[in-house]
Structure 1
Amino acid sequence: MPGATPPRWLDLLKSLPLYALPHHTVSRAVHAMARMETRLKDPLVRWFIRRYGVDMGEAAEPRPEAYASFNAFFTRALRPDARPLDADPGALPSPADSTVSALGRITHGRIIQAKGHDYSVETLLGGDGRRAAPFRDGHFITLYLSPRDYHRVHMPAAGLLRETVYIPGRLFSVAPHTVRTIPNLFARNERVACLFDTDRGPLASIMVGAINVGSIELVWTGEVTPPRGDLTVTDYGDRALRLERGAEMGRFNLGSTVILLLPDIPFAWREDLAPGVRVKVGERLGKFEG
């Protein structure tokens, strides 16, 4: 469970310098360095494993020196048996190794970010009321991926990909202190929203970028890097791609946050879930009722 919340003034002190940073310039530099194929990355990878307590015993390739670049290590695959999927077809499994940031009901199209902060579903999904309407009074969960986490994102339900929306924005850190202090954080940062049709109705999985996240990858397109500043909508129509429950959907190249949206249907979150609780891919988050 989470420890005591730091004083608000300390959160503000840590967050204020982020406003002045050239987010995309910093992230492009990190993007390039993380992909350099050199033996010089080996000491960095070993330090990172020690510093963040990364369990390489779960990795498909446990040898740090076997990865061509730091990014290859960071986006490493796990052993097939490392993340068992909840066997109950009525369960909603976690799409990511992560820490719960917030969860609950969406109220009149507003999502809780943190105490004293909320933001709109419509803005989160790119400003289209039609796209946001199915989730107006639905359910949401926000999941924060820390540096130590496995950074591939999986499907919480089988579904047909209907639409993707790339929304340009800033790249503020999404660490807990910024979530508590920067208004509309997730609706301001660069993000990719993926909208699916499932047997339980529409589902949205939003991958939110952050400082040092040079790109977000989707399994069906590779890196999502449209021209900076252009909102890009891809309607799959008759080309709808089906992804199975538990299948890999995408990955973060460093960082970030996943937000799941469900419509107003009978559904209950796990009773012990709360901000600060850690979950792993495939672990039950809640259950569809009926």
Structure 2
Amino acid sequence: MNIKERLFLAGQHLLPHHTLSRLIGCAAECRKPWFKNRLIDAFIHRYQVDMSEAEIGNPHAYEHFNAFFTRALRDGSRPLDPTPGAVLCPADGAISQLGPIEYGRLLQAKGHSFSVLELLGGDAERAAPFIGGQFATVYLSPRDYHRVHMPLAGTLREMVYVPGKLFSVNGFTAEQVPELFSRNERVVCLFDTERGPMAVVLVGAMIVASIETVWAGLVTPPKRTLKTFNYGVSEPIHLEKGAELGRFKLGSTAIVLFGPDQVRWAEELAAGSAVRMGQALGGPLQDA
């Protein structure tokens, strides 16, 4: 590592993650036109954000930075792959890793893996259906569309808020910080689908002000302790394939899990592959 990388990594361990994220979250909600417009303009310039796809193309029309950051796209901007049985990519970004869950662990980066048990909140019964299954990790960069969508149609069974750190989740930290995704704050969403259990895990990161879901809104309990929300059969929450699931206020990572013998990822995808929400990540084994 060079000196810049060493300083960045040291800062990841020394900075007060949650305090910094709360302060930035407050700034991101500021409605003063002179402030929020300059912030948005600087962000667009820095990250070369494509506003031509946005439902509201004028960046100054957003009430605050967070509204701009979680902006909706124009109809038709992300067509859903029509292949029967296709598993859709949940978000814009790049593949961090994808492949089998071996010995209860997911590949994070070369030389690093992490536990599916810890990722899902430490409950063995919750993790058991995914042992020997498949996973795909999608990293959302700052310039990307930051809403997360359903890879398959599913009925929500459980949501788990797991407290943790807020390390950055870019490629460099994935290579340097052990157990990164099972150490960061995250929201685990468990669905029943045509392929059996499916988990979509929304992983927080440095300066991520919050994680939201469409059924619960902001998911941050007053006390940052593990909290489980169960959803009964009397009023089931069902989301169609491609429907919005949640969103990040500032960038992060989405991880999708399936059980054994349910999914085969597309052969052309590998670590570093650019992806867009709605494209096919894979399909059922028998059709591969």
TM-score normalised by L of structure 1: 0.95
* Structure 2: gaps (5+ residues): none
Match of 2:109 among 101, 106, 114: 114
2:11 alignment counterpart: 17
The structural deviation recorded for 1:54 is 1.0
Q: CA RMSD in A?
A: 1.3
Task: Indicate if the aligned counterparts of 2:209 and 2:250 stay in contact, CA closer than 8 A.
Answer: yes
Please give the secondary structure, in 1, of the residue aligned with 2:225. coil
Identity %: 54
1:53 aligns with 2:77: no
1:244 alignment counterpart: 240
Q: Distance in 1 between matches of 2:125 and 2:225?
A: 20
2:32 alignment counterpart: 38
Please give the secondary structure, in 1, of the residue aligned with 2:283. strand
Task: Indicate if the aligned counterparts of 1:14 and 1:177 stay in contact, CA closer than 8 A.
Answer: no
1:4 alignment counterpart: none
Task: Indicate if the aligned counterparts of 2:195 and 2:262 stay in contact, CA closer than 8 A.
Answer: no
Match of 1:75 among 70, 74, 78: 70
2:218 alignment counterpart: 223
Q: Distance in 2 between matches of 1:276 and 1:228?
A: 36
The structural deviation recorded for 1:228 is 3.3
One-letter amino acid matched to 1:268: R
Range 218-227 or range 157-166, more displaced: 218-227
Match of 1:144 among 127, 134, 139: 139
Q: Distance in 1 between matches of 2:105 and 2:26?
A: 37
How many residues align? The count is 284
- Residues 120 and 27 (structure 1), Cα distance of their counterparts in 2 relative to 1, 3 Å cut: same
CA offsets 1:104-136 (integer angstroms, 9 cap, x no match):
000021111111111110000000000000001
The structural deviation recorded for 1:246 is 0.2
Task: Indicate if the aligned counterparts of 1:31 and 1:212 stay in contact, CA closer than 8 A.
Answer: yes
CA offsets 1:140-190 (integer angstroms, 9 cap, x no match):
011100000000000000000000000000101111111100000100000
The structural deviation recorded for 1:102 is 0.5
Please give the secondary structure, in 1, of the residue aligned with 2:33. coil
The structural deviation recorded for 1:274 is 1.0
1:281 alignment counterpart: 277
Q: Distance in 2 between matches of 1:42 and 1:190?
A: 30
Please give the secondary structure, in 2, of the residue aligned with 1:25. helix
* Structure 1: gaps (5+ residues): 1-6
Match of 2:163 among 162, 165, 168: 168
- Residues 199 and 150 (structure 1), Cα distance of their counterparts in 2 relative to 1, 3 Å cut: same
CA offsets 1:203-227 (integer angstroms, 9 cap, x no match):
0000000011111000001101102
Runs of 4+ with deviation above 4 angstroms: 7-13
1:3 alignment counterpart: none
Q: Distance in 1 between matches of 2:67 and 2:262?
A: 40
One-letter amino acid matched to 1:198: T
